[in-house]
């Protein structure tokens, strides 16, 4: 673990976060550990060693360009869900051949961009396929596609992060797959090269990946039997992380182990993790504005909020919360809340914590995934800065927004 406590003081790699807070001063901010990011990616690389497999990091989890460069240098590919993610991946130096563009509602300009760069495309629906065929004809070059299958597998996660169930908006139901093969047969410009599914996110029980691998392996073989040069079997991302800090959690090796024996020999496996690569590599650092009590609830009010980290408000998600240095005052049960004008604005509920003084540094752990990526300007708040620790070095890897960034629209009509 690259974020750790020593004598009650929080460290990131070789640096004390208290020292970082003194240098940076402006809170809240995100803080990442390069070593943790590398370790998390390397866990996948080791789990896949000796297999015909590729890791396509899902940019949606965190698309900070510096973190992307680190992952690209480690050999990662990129899974994208918007034209701008594609542009960001290009800027971070990913080769178009190592990118896959996903999505259930791709716009024509986004498809054109992907087609012009020769990025692999996921087909999500009948209309999506028709748009892809039109774009292939417009650019007059062959496009390689995967069909995204809706496997109807229940991953036992919050309904907002389950994506592969019967009534989900994503993918193509297996029984309709043959219709897509019929449609593709007479269209040589659109070449079917693989199949894809993604079950959801924050998955704790890797047995669902075994079910997915078995189903997708059968469909892969069916595609080949029908004469298609199907090569890629993309089983998505979705491995959860140990937000509760229990110390017991499935690893990438457990995930790959669950699927390994079920993959067809001639398949190249693609996995597209996001959270399990970047989640534990980042924390949110805030300052305490004050402490108050209403009714029978005690509140720690911080300068961090749902606009920096939406997950608790959006999914009731748990993030471990602590202080960056020892605090020796009465322990009470606190809700940790922000200044945003919403009762849903909280970072943690009912936590046993010592009563902090004003200005104390508070850390929200495991905030590297879907943290900054989901941040907003609600209440006209400015997005925070991002910093990276690499050994004993501290780098700013994104500046905080300023009021001027919020006034890009001309004020006069
Ligand atoms: C298609 C697809 N692939 C990969 C991911 C990454 O998932 P996770 O961050 O849970 O690994 C997502 C996120 O939901 C996704 O929708």
- 79 within ligand 1 shell (Cβ under 6 A): yes
The strands making up 9-12's β-sheet, listed across from edge to edge, are 3-6, 9-12, 15-16
Question: Which CATH number goes with the domain that contains 357?
Answer: 2.40.37.10
Based on the domain organization, do 58 and 159 belong to the same domain?
yes
- Counting every residue written for the chain, the total comes to 413
Q: Which residues pair with 337 in a beta bridge?
A: 301, 346
User: How many other β-carbons are positioned within 10 Å of the β-carbon of residue 199?
Assistant: 26
Q: Verify that 360 and 307 share a domain, yes or no.
A: yes
Tell how far the Cα of 351 is from the centroid of ligand 1, in angstroms. 29
Show which of 250, 274, 298 is a domain's final residue. 274
pLDDT at 23: 95
The answer, yes or no, to whether the previous bond of 28 is cis (omega within 30 of 0) is yes
311, part of any domain: yes
Same-domain pairing of 295 and 149: no
C-alpha 58 – ligand 1 centre gap (Å): 6
Q: In this structure, is residue 60 part of a structural domain?
A: yes
For residue 10, tell me if it sits in a domain.
yes
- Is there a single domain that holds both residue 374 and residue 318? yes
In the prediction, which pLDDT does 412 show? 62
Token pair, residue 137, equals 């004809």
DSSP 127: H
**Helix 126-139, helix 108-117: angle, nearest 10:** 50
Per-residue pLDDT reduced to its tens digit, 236-266: 999 999 999 999 999 999 999 999 999 999 9
Mutate to test the pocket of ligand 1, among 37, 58, 61, 249 (most ligand atoms within 8 A of CB): 58
Question: Are 64 and 80 in a shared domain?
Answer: yes
Q: Are both 47 and 91 inside the same structural domain?
A: yes
Query: Which atom of ligand 1 is least distant from the CA of 277?
Result: 11
pLDDT of residue 411: 62
Q: Do 70 and 9 sit in the same domain of this protein?
A: no
Is the Cβ atom of 275 under 6 angstroms away from ligand 1? Answer: yes
pLDDT in tens, 175-228: 999 999 999 999 999 999 999 999 998 999 999 999 999 999 999 999 999 999
The secondary structure element, H or E, covering residue 204 is none
- Which pLDDT does position 209 carry in this prediction? 96
DSSP state of 97: G
| Domain count across the chain | 2
Report the nearest-CA residue for atom 13 of ligand 1: 201
What is the domain-level CATH number for residue 58? 3.20.20.10
Residues 210 and 288 in one domain: no
Does 412 reside within a domain?
no
Ligand 1 binding pocket includes 237 (Cβ within 6 Å): yes
Residues of the chain with pLDDT under 50: none
Cβ of 85 less than 6 Å from ligand 1: no
The predicted structure's pLDDT at residue 49 = 97
Structure tokens that stand for 132 in this block = 């892809």
Q: Which domain holds residue 15?
A: 3-32+280-407
What residues does 332 pair with on adjacent strands? Answer: 353
Show the tokens assigned to 102: 């996903």
The span from the CA of 286 to the CA of 280, in Å, is 17
Q: What is the pLDDT of residue 161?
A: 83
pTM (predicted TM-score):
0.97
User: For the chain, give me the number of helices (H) and strands (E)?
Assistant: 11, 21
Atom of ligand 1 nearest to the CA of 148: 1
The Cα–Cα gap between 134 and 111 comes to 10
For residues 316 and 392, membership in a common domain is answered with yes
Please state, in angstroms and rounded to a whole number, the distance separating the CA atoms of residues 290 and 58.
Answer: 37
| Longest alpha-carbon distance in the chain | 73
Half-sphere exposure of 257 (CA within 13 A, CB side): 9
Judge contact between 196 and 234, C-beta under 8 A.
yes
245 in the same domain as 171: yes
197: in domain: yes
192 with 295, same domain? no
Domain boundary among 229, 248, 274: 274
* Nearest atom of ligand 1 to the alpha carbon of 161: 14
Ligand 1 atom, smallest distance to 196 CA: 1
- Return d(Cα 270, Cα 143) in angstroms, integer: 18
| Domain final position from 226, 259, 274 | 274
Q: Would you name the residues annotated as active-site residues?
A: 341
Rounded to the nearest whole angstrom, what is the distance from the C-alpha of residue 57 to the centroid of ligand 1?
Answer: 9
Q: Compute, in angstroms, the gap from residue 368 CA to the centroid of ligand 1.
A: 14
The helix/strand/coil state of 387 is: strand
- Looking at the fold, whether 8 and 157 belong to one and the same domain comes out as no
Q: Which of 60, 158, 163, 317 to mutate to test the pocket of ligand 1 (most atoms within 8 A of CB)?
A: 60
Whether the Cβ atoms of residue 162 and residue 236 lie closer than 8 Å to each other: no
Q: Return d(Cα 228, Cα 221) in angstroms, integer.
A: 10
């Amino acid at each position: 673990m690259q974020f750790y406590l020593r004598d009650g003081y929080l460290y990131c790699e070789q640096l004390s976060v208290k020292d970082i807070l003194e240098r940076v001063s402006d809170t809240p901010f995100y803080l990442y550990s390069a070593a943790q990011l590398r370790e998390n990616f390397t866990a996948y690389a080791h789990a896949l060693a000796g297999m015909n497999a590729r890791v396509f990091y899902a940019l949606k989890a965190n698309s900070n360009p510096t973190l992307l460069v680190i992952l690209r240098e480690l050999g990662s590919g990129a899974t994208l869900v918007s034209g701008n993610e594609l542009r960001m991946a290009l800027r971070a130096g990913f080769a178009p051949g190592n990118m896959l563009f996903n999505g259930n509602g791709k716009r024509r300009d986004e498809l054109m961009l992907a087609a012009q760069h020769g990025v692999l495309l996921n087909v999500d629906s009948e209309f999506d396929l028709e748009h892809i065929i039109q774009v292939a004809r417009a650019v007059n070059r062959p496009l390689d596609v995967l069909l995204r299958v809706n496997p109807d597998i229940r991953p036992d996660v919050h309904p907002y992060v389950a994506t592969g169930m019967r009534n989900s908006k994503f993918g193509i139901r297996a029984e309709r797959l043959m219709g897509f093969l019929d449609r593709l047969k007479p269209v040589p410009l659109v070449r079917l090269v693989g199949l894809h599914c993604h079950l959801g996110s924050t998955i704790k029980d890797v047995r669902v990946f075994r079910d997915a691998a078995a189903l997708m392996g059968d469909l892969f073989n069916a595609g080949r039997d029908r004469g298609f040069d199907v090569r890629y079997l993309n089983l998505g991302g979705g491995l959860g992380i140990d937000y509760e800090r229990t110390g017991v959690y499935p690893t990438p090796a457990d995930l790959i182990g669950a699927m390994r024996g079920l993959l067809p020999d001639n398949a190249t496996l693609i996995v597209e993790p996001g959270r399990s690569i970047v989640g534990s590599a980042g924390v949110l650092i805030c300052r305490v504005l004050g402490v108050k009590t209403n009714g029978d609830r005690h509140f720690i009010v911080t300068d961090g909020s749902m606009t920096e980290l939406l997950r608790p408000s959006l999914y009731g998600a748990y993030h471990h919360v602590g202080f960056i240095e020892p605090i020796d005052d009465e322990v009470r049960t606190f809700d940790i809340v922000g200044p945003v004008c919403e009762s849903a604005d909280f970072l943690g509920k009912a936590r046993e914590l010592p009563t902090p003084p004003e200005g104390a540094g508070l850390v929200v752990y495991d905030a590297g995934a879907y943290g900054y990526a989901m941040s907003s300007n609600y209440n006209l708040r400015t997005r925070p800065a991002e910093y990276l620790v690499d050994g004993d070095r501290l780098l700013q890897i994104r500046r905080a927004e300023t009021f001027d960034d919020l006034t890009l629209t001309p004020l006069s009509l």
